[in-house]
Amino acid sequence: MPTLPAEPTHAVTQPFSRSRQAREAEETLTHLVNDFDDNPESMDYFYDLFRRVFCQGESLEREGVLVGTTCIHAPEELIYALGATPVRLCNGSYHYDQIGAEFMPAKSCPLVKATLGLLQDPHAVPRVGKLDLIVNPTTCDQKKKSGALMTALGHTVYDLEVPPSKDTEHSRVYWQRSVRALTERLCQLTGRRLTRRNLRAAMARTSRAQAAFRVLHEHRRAAPSLVLGKDVFLVTNAFFFDDIDRWTAAVERLNAEIAGRAAAGFQAAQTKAPRILFTGSPPIFPNLKLPLLIEQSGGVVVADETCSANRMLYDMTAVDEWHLPDMVDSLADKYLKPCTCPTFTNNEDRRRRLLDLARTFQVDGVVYQVFAGCQVYEMEQKSVADTLQRAGFPMLAIETDYSPDDLGQLTTRIEAFLESLKARKRHRPT
Amino acid sequence: MKANRPALAALRAAVNGVDLNRFRFWVQLASFAFFLYGGYAAVNLGSHLPLFACVYNRVGTAGAGAGVCYLMPLQLQLARPWNTLFTGASLFILTGLGIFMLWFLALNKAWCGFVCPLGTIQDWLTALRRFVRIRYSVYTQSQFDWLKKIKYLLLALAVLIPLGIGNGYITRELRAPICQICPGRVLLPLFSGDYSHWNIDFTSTTTVVMTALGVLITGLFLVGAFVKKRFYCFFCPMSAFLFLLSKPALLRLKKDGSKCTRCGDCYRVCDMQIKAIADDVVTADIMADDCTLCLKCVAACPETGALKVKYAGLTIFEATETGFIKRCQKEHCRANASR
């Protein structure tokens, strides 16, 4: 079994903290922390975590086999059950985006470029060590095709076949077979056997994490808001690389603090702050510019429908019979059926999910982020906008990427949107 | 309302957080004992019950159970000569149907999921299979769509054959044909020590065929229910009959499609493989014809208010996030304890 190379933290010539990439992270964190008063104390764990990992380049001690995943479709429970650790490779760094751009087509989306940029770096940050395998779910075309690029970069890639649709019974059966095949591959890789016991333990861990996330999600229903969206995105982003149990404990602490604040009548945003539902391409640290902008401009992101937060953690598994085949199939179902990824043929579930979130979280408007080059999100934009508009929710669609160049322009647009929402709110008969 | 009545809210939370599978196990056990042995305590709920409490389950001349399945009287009554069948003298058939309806309307198809002894036996066989860790089998969607029609065919036969007998077209030896091939006739008397139905009656060709079919179907029932959850319920003519009458029933399974994420958790746990429970986000009355109202789907639903059980318009049990997580954690605790 491959072991982690004893890699010195400062293998690069200059101190990491002075690199471009550290400064980029520092910049985001500074705004995220300092631009807001009354950050919850239990958020310090997360601020500190990101500072250590992204600004100081601290290595994350990881034991066992490391399995990179490029999409939320890869069932983490299987990876944990076999004693391996999943590393979510979707990346939000402009630094890596630019490196990726050097060898990727100009029209690729920044997320894919940044992921590839990260993968070409032997000292990639977050420093998790050498990946033993990358599980690459065949979702959008760019991710599908980047598997070959990853192989060319010297990684071992396993293409996890995701069906193009999820509504039919045969797509479900196809996917269940894909997941079983992945299980075999992972067993081979780790040299372990998947058992009822280890899978059950892994599912319990994930389920506890999800339960904690759901409590946090529930807290966001409150009006006026108890917690800001920028903090929630940071929390769910930490789930990408943090130790799952430590993460869950930290979220449970945060939940307790928020509950305490609720009892004390605290509010995290102004009563009249427009409540925003965030959807589209996923905000991934350090690229939290859009949610940050919304909240710096006086709005508050109260809910999201993105694969770096809600879509990744919300849906929980139900098992009827706790024997291995049924457990694995149940997991497969959880990763397919509720998923609102735009790569599936039909986006009805996504539109229904957005409507439900908009209604139950008393949302004033929706911000739809599209990464330049992300065709699937772009193509769904109209149908989503129409659905929301018909239900009385204005939507602002923003095409952007990881570069800070459009910040000025975005600020103007976001502020105008929030102003219009406020005006609507004032004129709405109560 | 909730704020005014904290006790009610607490009760609701307790009910919604119930360990449904365990609750159902005890209800089924109690009903089983009641409907198989109630006769010993001189309980008799009559012969119009919407469940397989078999008339052949007897001690001496009295019924051993607390009541009798309606299919037998129905088939016998329909076999009256036609010249009397369509006169006022047959009013009692309608009365019988009315009584049957009253019983049925009280519980809807929960008779199948909570009370029916044949259903319970199948669940016990499932438990046995689970204990020996054998995986269940499932039908493919196309098999399922095809097989689910059989129960309507059986129901049609349960009506048409007696009518044919009344008209003189069909031999009287085919009286109550469904009872003759029903596994309830063979299995349930066993519980009061009567093994006489485990045989083939060689009186005539008809009896040979029918009793052989009965034993064969019972064998299939036992094997089928061991490998496939609620195997027999797919073919049950009573299930078809109940579904056709279920419109005015008091107990109802409701779905609020706007709250559904189509995660498929309900479909996952459904013994009857009803896909619509997950995929249909339009129909509010979500009870399908195969549904046994076991309510496992409600317990497995993590979306608050997406699935609800209503009794006469009042919500008595509903899917809640906290209930789901509580059950989930209980499962995981149980797993840790069993290590």
- Of 3.30.70, 3.40.50, 3.30.2310, 2.40.160, the CATH number of B250-338 is 3.30.70
pLDDT for the residue numbered A16: 83
Cβ of B268 and A204 within 8 Å? Answer: no
Q: A1 in a domain, yes or no?
A: no
* pLDDT score for A239: 96
Cβ of B335 within 8 Å of Cβ of A218? The answer is no
Mean pLDDT of the A139-145 span: 95
Write the residue in A169, A316, A333 that is nearest to B328 by C-beta. A316
The B residues from 116 to 145 touching A (CB cutoff 8 Å) are 130, 133, 135-136, 140-141
How high is the ipTM of this complex?
0.89
Q: At residue A1, does pLDDT exceed 70? A: no
Per-residue pLDDT, A2: 44
pLDDT at position A9 is 47
User: In chain B, what residues touch A212 (CB-CB under 8 Å)?
Assistant: none
Are residues B185 and B54 in contact, defined by beta-carbon separation less than 8 angstroms?
yes
Give the model's pLDDT for residue B86.
79
The mean of the pLDDT values for chain B is 91
> Which pLDDT score, from 0 to 100, does residue B62 have?
79
Model confidence over A282-332: pLDDT tens digits? 999 999 999 999 999 999 999 999 999 999 999 999 999 999 999 999 999
Mean pLDDT calculated for residue range B109-119: 96
Residue A205 in domain: yes
pLDDT confidence of residue B337 = 65
For residue B142, pLDDT beyond 90: no
pLDDT computed for residue B259 by the predictor:
95
pLDDT at B271 over 80: yes
Residue % of chain A over a pLDDT of 90:
89
Residues with Cβ within 8 Å of residue B169, at least 6 apart in sequence: none
pLDDT band at B335 (very low <50, low <70, confident <90, very high): low
Asked if B302 lies within 8 A of A349 by C-beta distance, the reply is no
Whole-number average pLDDT of chain A: 93
> Which parts of A246-291 are beta strand (E)?
275-280
Nearest CA in chain B to A357: B259
- pLDDT at position B338: 58
Minimal Cα distance from A172: which residue of B?
Answer: B264
**Residue ranges per structural domain of chain B:** 30-242, 250-338
Residue A267 lies in a domain: yes
> Cβ distance B292 to B119 under 8 Å?
yes
Q: State whether residue B330 sits within 8 Å of chain A by CB.
A: no
CA A118, CA A401: separation in Å to the nearest integer? 17
Residue A143 lies in a domain: yes
Q: Spell out which residues of chain A touch residue B300, defining contact as CB-CB under 8 Å.
A: 318, 320
Whether B78 and B162 have beta carbons less than 8 Å apart is answered as yes
pLDDT digits (tens, 9 = 90+) for B49-104: 999 999 898 887 778 888 899 999 999 999 988 888 878 878 889 999 999 999 99
pLDDT higher than threshold 90 for residue A123:
no
Query: Measured between beta carbons, which residues in chain A are less than 8 angstroms from residue B258?
Result: 352, 355-356, 359
- What total of structural domains would you count in chain A? 1
Residues from chain A that touch B259, judged by Cβ atoms under 8 A, are 356
**Smallest CA–CA separation between A355 and chain B, in Å?**
8
- The reply to whether residue A338 touches residue B130, judged by beta carbons under 8 angstroms, is no
Tell me, yes or no, whether A40 lies in a domain. Answer: yes
Residue of chain B minimizing CA distance to A335: B263
Q: Does B258 touch chain A (CB under 8 A)?
A: yes
- DSSP track, B18-86: --HHHHHHHHHHHHHHHHHHGGGGT----S-BSS---TT-EETTEESSS--BSHHHHHHHHTS-HHHHT
Q: Is residue A12 part of a domain?
A: no
Q: Which of B135, B281, B296 comes nearest A325 by C-beta?
A: B135
Q: What number is the average pLDDT over the span A356-363?
A: 96
Q: Taking residues B260-275, what's their average pLDDT? A: 94
Q: How far is CA A195 from CA A83, A327, B328, in A?
A: 12, 10, 19
Average pLDDT of the residues in A75-82:
97
- Contact of B227 with B143, CB cutoff 8 Å: no
Q: How many residues comprise chain A?
A: 430
**Containing structural domain, residue A245:** 25-427
Listed in sequence order, the residues at least 6 apart from B148 whose beta carbon sits closer than 8 Å to its beta carbon are B234, B289, B290
Contact A331, A179 (CB under 8 A): yes
Specify if A322 maps to a domain.
yes
Q: Which of B141, B257, B324 lies at the smallest CB-CB distance from A316?
A: B324
Q: B333 pLDDT exceeds 80?
A: no
Q: Residue B1's pLDDT band (boundaries 50, 70, 90)?
A: very low
- Does B318 or B338 have the greater pLDDT score? B318
Give how far A423 is from chain B: nearest CA, Å.
29
Domain membership of residue A36 (yes or no) is yes
